[in-house]
């Protein structure tokens, strides 16, 4: 028996919480899983981007490795911005993920030649997604749709009727977007912007076929993803969806329900140790008082729809259910998230606010919620998650005794109700962290701390940091800065005046040696990343007390040659707070068929057996 995990006491704990019925559906056994955005995957059949049926191959790989959980990024329709967390709908999915070969009630051979031509124009597996595939695929889908009268499809008509509450508004919005050359709804003419019933009724009558096409796309997407869920269930693999907490300002949701949002503000995140200027995401905050008067139907409906496709769901930016950082639209975008405020403003309201929303979520669906409780976290968040039996996230490189030794947290001290992970989609991979970040401080943050204390950062950097080991805005301490006293002498300030710099030093100096010891490797620290190091880090995260452990697919495969050839710094899904063209475009260096052919399955299965994740 694993000393950090007693199955009987674990089952008793979860069974006594408000989420007991949700755990009853999936079980309380230790699970390991993989996190992979669909756009990152591809198969030999894919056209330009990973497609929903490709997930069957990922399920097969999971089965071969002993993994039983797949965590996806949002599949929501993102329009033409291609950020999965800035969607045009909380319910509608993106048609770029459709497989042309598996369309319902369509004879694929009729369009095989055109599909092959599209595949030649947009081959998958080229390092970064070419998002031109979306418009090209929609045009071919339009041609396919136009070959018959879909009013006589009973299955399609049943879908339209079942989801009429959101589907028509979404399809109308998308058709209006096309009419206005994709301009945001706030730029439309007055009647359309204000949702004049007469104007919309006339527009719908004139454009009924175009609106039907948008509804047809959503039906096809639902059919394909439901088929994948059924396949996953047969294979004993659970699917975790990712439901964005916020929705794009230019979305069907905001346009159709303008009173549900505070349109004079933008959401974001306050400054923290990773992002000194905070973040300004742009999505409008919710007007929860108004949503509450409508019995939270907006929240309930999106969860009930997601339940058709997923067994669990990730609550993006979970801390936002307690309070959300909001920034006035009048603030210049260059100020990031610095000049914002929490909503609700009063801290004594946060716990009750979050409790109320979480209870609505639990009542709305049988899916198990999993919270992304990262960032600046209010104390009530940990309390509520523990009380409700909801899983949070424990990040391996951030789990330390921050108030004391700064050593890494022992396996048995991880939260039981958590998902242990090495990296998330917003972080560097294990390889990049070890190569460039471990044992370093953020250069921008250090400069800000110097400016606050009238210190000359330009003069201090060569005195404190090793330029040969400092890369990508990360400053590596010189080995001779062996103590806080040495550092204080070089800074020439009292301890209280430079406490922030001292805290950064305490949390990062010697970090590699501490991590090396934590993952159980003997001997001297090896500065270079190696497959041996990757294996030890994976074992360490799998040994934790957490009920789940889920790793990015590139971390599970970090020791593989195909991944070692890649630039570790730039090979990541997203650089938060940046507008890089490479964000949300990452593609695996090998196809799903090649992944299944790797001699890695037995190694991973053995690792999971050793750490009792199977």
Pairing mode, if any, of strands 279-280 and 265-269?
antiparallel
- pLDDT at residue 5, rounded to an integer: 76
Peptide bond into 344 cis (omega under 30): yes
Q: Which residues contact 360 (CB under 8 A, 6 or more apart)?
A: 296, 299, 300
Quick: pLDDT tens for 161-218: 999 999 999 999 999 999 999 999 999 999 999 999 999 999 999 999 999 999 999 9
Residue 84 pLDDT grade (very low, low, confident, very high; cuts 50, 70, 90) = very high
Quick: pLDDT tens for 282-337: 999 999 999 999 999 999 999 999 999 999 999 999 999 999 999 999 999 888 89
Rounded to whole angstroms, what are the CA distances from 512 to 65, 379, 380, 442? 29, 29, 32, 16
Whether the predicted pLDDT of 1 surpasses 50: no
- Mean pLDDT throughout 358-379? 94
For residues 82 and 580, is the Cβ–Cβ distance under 8 A?
Answer: no
- pLDDT at residue 2, rounded to an integer: 53
Residue 273 pLDDT grade (very low, low, confident, very high; cuts 50, 70, 90) = low
- pLDDT at residue 156, rounded to an integer: 98
- pLDDT at residue 334, rounded to an integer: 87
Whether the predicted pLDDT of 135 surpasses 50: yes
**Percentage of the chain exceeding pLDDT 70:** 99
pLDDT, mean over the chain: 95
Quick: pLDDT tens for 426-482: 999 999 999 999 999 999 889 989 998 999 999 999 999 999 999 999 999 999 999
- pLDDT at residue 3, rounded to an integer: 55
Edge to edge, the sheet with strand 324-328 lists 279-280, 265-269, 324-328, 341-343
CA angle 569, 525, 549 (to 5 degrees): 60
Residue 271 pLDDT grade (very low, low, confident, very high; cuts 50, 70, 90) = confident
Q: How far apart are CA 178 and CA 187, in angstroms?
A: 13
Q: How far apart are CA 549 and CA 245, in angstroms?
A: 22
Q: Which residues contact 601 (CB under 8 A, 6 or more apart)?
A: 61, 64, 65
Quick: pLDDT tens for 210-249: 999 999 999 999 999 999 999 999 999 999 999 888 999 9
Residue 576 pLDDT grade (very low, low, confident, very high; cuts 50, 70, 90) = confident
- Mean pLDDT throughout 151-160? 97
- Nearest by Cα to 89 from 278, 215, 233: 215
Q: How far apart are CA 436 and CA 472, in angstroms?
A: 8
- Mean pLDDT throughout 108-114? 93
pTM for this one?
0.96
**Percentage of the chain exceeding pLDDT 90:** 92
Whether the predicted pLDDT of 579 surpasses 90: no
- Mean pLDDT throughout 357-383? 95
Phi and psi for 316 in degrees, rounded to 5? -60, 140
Q: Which residues contact 220 (CB under 8 A, 6 or more apart)?
A: 95, 98, 103, 104
248-257, 371-380, 517-526: least confidently modelled range:
371-380
Bigger pLDDT: 447 or 276?
A: 447
CATH homologous superfamily for 38-238+582-597? Glycosidases (3.20.20.80)
Bigger pLDDT: 415 or 108?
A: 415
149-153, 375-379, 396-400: least confidently modelled range:
375-379
Q: Which residues contact 102 (CB under 8 A, 6 or more apart)?
A: 53, 108, 224, 227
């Amino acid at each position: 028996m694993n000393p950090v995990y007693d199955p009987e006491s674990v089952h008793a704990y979860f069974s006594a919480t408000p989420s007991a019925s949700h755990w009853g559906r999936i079980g309380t056994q230790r699970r390991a899983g993989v996190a992979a955005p669909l756009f990152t995957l591809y198969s030999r059949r894919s056209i330009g981007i990973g497609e929903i049926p490709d997930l069957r191959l990922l399920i097969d790989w999971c089965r071969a490795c002993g993994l039983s959980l797949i965590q996806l990024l949002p599949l929501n329709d993102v329009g033409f911005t291609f950020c999965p967390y800035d969607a045009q709908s909380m319910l509608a999915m993106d048609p770029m993920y459709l497989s042309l070969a598996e369309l319902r009630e369509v004879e694929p051979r009729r369009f095989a030649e055109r599909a092959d031509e599209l595949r030649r124009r947009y081959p998958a597996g080229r390092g970064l997604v070419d998002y031109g595939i979306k418009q090209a695929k929609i045009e071919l889908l339009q041609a396919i749709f136009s070959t018959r009268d879909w009013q006589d499809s009973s299955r399609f008509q049943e879908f339209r009727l079942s989801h009429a509450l959101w589907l028509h508004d979404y399809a109308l919005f998308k058709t209006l977007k096309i009419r206005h050359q994709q301009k945001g709804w706030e730029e439309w003419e007055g009647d359309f912007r204000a949702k004049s019933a007469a104007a919309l009724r006339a527009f719908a009558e004139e454009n009924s076929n175009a609106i039907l096409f948008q509804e047809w796309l959503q039906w096809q997407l639902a059919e394909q993803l439901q088929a994948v869920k059924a396949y996953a269930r047969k294979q004993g693999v659970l699917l975790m969806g990712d439901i964005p907490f916020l929705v794009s300002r230019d979305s069907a949701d905001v346009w159709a329900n303008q009173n549900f949002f505070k349109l004079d503000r933008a959401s974001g995140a306050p400054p923290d140790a990773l992002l000194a200027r905070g973040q300004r995401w742009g999505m409008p905050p919710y007007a929860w008082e108004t949503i509450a008067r409508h019995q939270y139907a907006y929240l309930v409906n999106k969860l009930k729809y997601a339940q058709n496709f997923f067994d669990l769901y990730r609550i993006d930016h979970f801390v936002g259910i307690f309070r959300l950082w909001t920034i006035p639209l009048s603030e210049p975008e260059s100020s990031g998230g610095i000049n914002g405020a929490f909503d609700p403003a009063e801290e004594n309201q946060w716990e009750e606010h979050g409790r109320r929303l979480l209870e609505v979520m639990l009542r709305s669906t049988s899916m198990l919620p999993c919270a992304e409780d990262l960032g600046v976290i209010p104390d009530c968040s940990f309390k509520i998650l523990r009380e409700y039996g909801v899983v949070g996230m424990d990040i391996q490189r951030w789990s330390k005794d921050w108030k004391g030794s700064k050593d890494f947290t022992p396996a048995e001290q991880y939260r039981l109700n958590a998902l242990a992970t090495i990296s998330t989609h917003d972080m560097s991979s294990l390889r990049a962290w070890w190569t460039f970040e471990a044992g370093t401080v953020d250069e921008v943050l250090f400069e800000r701390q110097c400016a606050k204390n009238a210190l000359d950062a330009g003069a201090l950097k060569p005195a404190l940091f090793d330029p040969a080991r400092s890369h990508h805005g990360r400053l590596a301490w010189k080995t001779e800065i062996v103590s806080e006293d040495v550092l204080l002498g070089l800074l020439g300030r009292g301890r209280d005046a430079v406490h922030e710099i001292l805290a950064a030093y305490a949390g990062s100096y010697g970090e590699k040696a501490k991590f090396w010891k934590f993952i159980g490797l003997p001997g001297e620290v090896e500065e270079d990343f190696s497959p041996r190091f990757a294996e030890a880090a994976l074992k360490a995260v799998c040994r934790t007390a957490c009920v789940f452990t889920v790793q990015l697919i590139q971390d599970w495969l970090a020791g593989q040659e195909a991944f070692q050839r890649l630039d570790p710094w730039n090979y990541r899904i997203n650089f938060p707070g940046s507008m890089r063209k490479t964000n949300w475009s990452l593609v695996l260096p090998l196809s799903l068929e090649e992944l299944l052919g790797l001699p890695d399955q037995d190694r991973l299965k053995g690792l999971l057996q050793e750490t009792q994740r199977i």
